[in-house]
Structure 1
Amino acid sequence: MTDNYFVQKGASAKLNVPFHGKTQDFYFLLLPKATMLPVAAAVEPLRIANQVTNSQLYRWYVMTPDGAPIRCSNGMTITPDLPMGSLPAEASAFVCAGVEPQNAANESVLNWLRRERRFGRSIGGICTGAFALAQAGLLGQERFTLHWENQPGFVERFPDLLPSPRIFEISNKLMTCGGGNAATDMMLNLIEEQHGKQLAIIVADMCLHVRNGGQSTPQKSNYAVAIGSRNQRLLNALQLMQESIEEPLSIAELCDRLDISRRQLERLFSRYLNQSPMHVYFDMRLSHAFALMNETSMSVTEIALASGFNSATHFSRQFKRKFGASPHFFRKGWN
């Protein structure tokens, strides 16, 4: 690629940002079925930063394991710039994954990640890239995250690793984000650290992106937003249910921990959710099972137990009621 490729003309006035350092290189390794949105959301802030400063602050390259075009989760094919290989000394690399992340990274990818980390590169994961980082043994004690939808399956596969609920995490030389527009927030954070707040604000405006509350922003809307209520007792009940999936609490135990009567609890759920507490709790557990069905190779019995069902038969019956197919047929249909 020529330098002109990285610095393009735009209609906005040039921002005077003094720059006398080295150009920062980013390499994006796309794995099969990577999600395209967060990859574009990570690259575009770099392009725009160059455009509005008329300077080559950043360069970016797309890689695939063997240099061949790769099909993303939306069915579109991306042709890479180059195959995996040794990176420049001060480059940063992101492994980008998407659906079925547990099967995306082969041994050559894992060895490449280990080697580049051993040579001191900054390594990151976009969307579900943390699966590959965990398989390569690179997460250690660092803070990290991945898309919230894939976190239950990740935790079942790597029980000693706990992902953050935040949109992105930057911890030493490890950078991870939950996918989607979180990649833009992560890159804006890096731009602000390297070139100042003014540039980060202008890049965000060019992206028509309203910046969140920084690294501490959670990925999911809180329950108050989701249900349209700030009733604290109801919110506490939902949070307690979510934290007790594998070993579900009885109504009596919920009421005891919440210091509320059964009648009050049922009224709250009926008023705000138009469902009984147990029906809501049941759906939470089945949604958890659905995630494990898609993201792990756990058996149906193991998934049943991990979702708080003592009987695989009962679990299968309820799963079919909610999703229209038994767990066994459901899994076959996705293979």
Structure 2
Amino acid sequence: MQEDPFVPKAGSASLALEFDGPALDFYFLLLPKATMLPVAAAIEPLRIANQVTNRCLFRWYIMTEDGQPITCSNGMKVTPDLPLSTLPNESLGFVCAGVEPHEAASEATLNWLRRETRYGRRIGGICTGAFALAQAGLLRDKPFTLHWENQPGFIETFPDLIPSPNSFEINDKLMTCGGGNAATDLMLNLIESRHGKQLAIIVADMCLHARSGSVAKPQKSNYAVAIGSRNQRLLTALQLMQETIEEPLSISELCERLEISRRQLERLFARHLDQSPMHVYSDMRLTHAFGLMNETSLSVAEIAVASGFNNATHFSRQFKRKFGASPHFFRKGWA
């Protein structure tokens, strides 16, 4: 009897499952420089679900636009199963992107996404796949997400589309996740909705994955976890800084909002962060600028303004101080 390539040899973990229906097919379209981690994190739960039940519950296929191998963001090449194709009925399609997502999707890919959506397919985006979904006009009035690092650049590119801070979003026929382990959480929720909670639990255990549950959690640790402090004034100060990157507050304005003196604010930052408030604020804005530099086609001058720097020369000097090169170094083909 020929073995099913989608059902690995059973291990010690197993689950008896009563199911005689057809397998659910997943198609993953990899764009140039796609991030490999979330793609693997999406596929492995499907494989494990088949393994522990000894049934072909799911099948998965890799696509590229032309059917040729794709180079991922880590330099590794992935050989696809097929080129862009019309998806079978009831199947799910995911567009998977990574670095430089604003220029990864061709018009052929965007047309494919639009066509499959018109056909009623369930479509999703993994990591920065939301860029392609937005370019195809498929995100309006729908909750969606993408990797937190790329969200500032996304918002600058698509100011009318605001991504969720959550690790994943499932909304009718649209599914998106922020990449990494968020892809596993997304798949575990799809597994649970189709085959029950017990299977999702054992698959999560096999992945050594601390599942967030059926409700998505925020992608980033909150400031209290990140800095190891629950000082409310410090946390409020950091939140205010993050919210006013494009139009930064002066230290006096920050103190007025917090209802503390400048000396108290400086002591607070020195005690918990070993830095001055202005240094922390500047680093936030420069990190924001770095993200825009890599993830958008905005000009250096536009990025300076979007990061709260009214003087482009000052912005370039500060950027070089932090990152070791001028912003123009990160602008391919720009003078």
Do they superpose with TM above 0.5?
yes
- Residue 156 (structure 2) pairs with residue 156 (structure 1): yes
CA RMSD, 1 decimal: 1.5
Aligned to 1:20: 20
Deviations 1:19-41 (A, max 9, x none): 13321110000000001110000
The DSSP-based 3-state class of the residue aligned with 2:62 is strand
Measure the CA separation in 2 of the matches of 1:216 and 1:37.
19
Deviations 1:67-92 (A, max 9, x none): 00111111110000111111111110
Shift in Å, 1:325: 1.2
Shift in Å, 1:329: 2.5
Measure the CA separation in 1 of the matches of 2:329 and 2:60.
43
Counterpart residue identity of residue 225, structure 1:
V
Normalised by the size of structure 1, how large is the TM-score?
0.97
Measure the CA separation in 1 of the matches of 2:5 and 2:165.
36
Measure the CA separation in 2 of the matches of 1:238 and 1:302.
24
In structure 2, list runs of 5 or more residues that go unmatched: none
Counterpart residue identity of residue 238, structure 1:
L
Deviations 1:3-57 (A, max 9, x none): 7111111222431111133211100000000011100000000010011111111
> Mean alpha-carbon deviation: is it higher for 290-299 or for 325-334?
325-334
- Residue 206 (structure 2) pairs with residue 210 (structure 1): no
Aligned to 1:271: 271
Measure the CA separation in 2 of the matches of 1:267 and 1:233.
12
Deviations 1:179-199 (A, max 9, x none): 011100110011111111111
- Residue 60 (structure 2) pairs with residue 48 (structure 1): no
Tell whether the 8 Å contact from 2:11 to 2:51 is kept in structure 1 after alignment. Answer: no
The DSSP-based 3-state class of the residue aligned with 2:28 is strand
Aligned pair count reads 334
Tell whether the 8 Å contact from 1:169 to 1:215 is kept in structure 2 after alignment. Answer: no
Aligned to 2:287: 287
Shift in Å, 1:334: 11
Shift in Å, 1:233: 0.9
Measure the CA separation in 2 of the matches of 1:58 and 1:216.
23
Tell whether the 8 Å contact from 1:87 to 1:116 is kept in structure 2 after alignment. Answer: yes
Shift in Å, 1:317: 1.0
Aligned to 1:169: 169
Measure the CA separation in 2 of the matches of 1:89 and 1:178.
26
Aligned to 2:222: 222
Measure the CA separation in 1 of the matches of 2:174 and 2:104.
20
Shift in Å, 1:261: 1.9
Measure the CA separation in 1 of the matches of 2:142 and 2:57.
28
Aligned to 1:76: 76
Measure the CA separation in 2 of the matches of 1:213 and 1:77.
33
> Mean alpha-carbon deviation: is it higher for 191-200 or for 209-218?
209-218
Measure the CA separation in 2 of the matches of 1:182 and 1:13.
24
- Residue 246 (structure 2) pairs with residue 246 (structure 1): yes
Deviations 1:111-167 (A, max 9, x none): 000000000000000000000000000011111000111111111000000011111
Aligned to 1:135: 135
Measure the CA separation in 2 of the matches of 1:332 and 1:29.
26
Normalised by the size of structure 2, how large is the TM-score?
0.97
Measure the CA separation in 2 of the matches of 1:164 and 1:290.
21
* Percent identity of equivalent pairs: 77
The DSSP-based 3-state class of the residue aligned with 1:5 is coil
Shift in Å, 1:256: 1.5
Tell whether the 8 Å contact from 2:294 to 2:330 is kept in structure 1 after alignment. Answer: no
Aligned to 2:306: 306
Aligned to 1:120: 120
Shift in Å, 1:264: 1.5
The DSSP-based 3-state class of the residue aligned with 2:4 is helix
Aligned to 1:232: 232
Shift in Å, 1:63: 0.4
Shift in Å, 1:214: 4.2
Tell whether the 8 Å contact from 1:166 to 1:215 is kept in structure 2 after alignment. Answer: no
Tell whether the 8 Å contact from 1:3 to 1:56 is kept in structure 2 after alignment. Answer: no
Tell whether the 8 Å contact from 2:29 to 2:95 is kept in structure 1 after alignment. Answer: yes
Aligned to 1:99: 99
Measure the CA separation in 1 of the matches of 2:92 and 2:8.
22
In structure 1, list runs of 5 or more residues that go unmatched: none
Counterpart residue identity of residue 190, structure 2:
L
Tell whether the 8 Å contact from 1:167 to 1:215 is kept in structure 2 after alignment. Answer: no
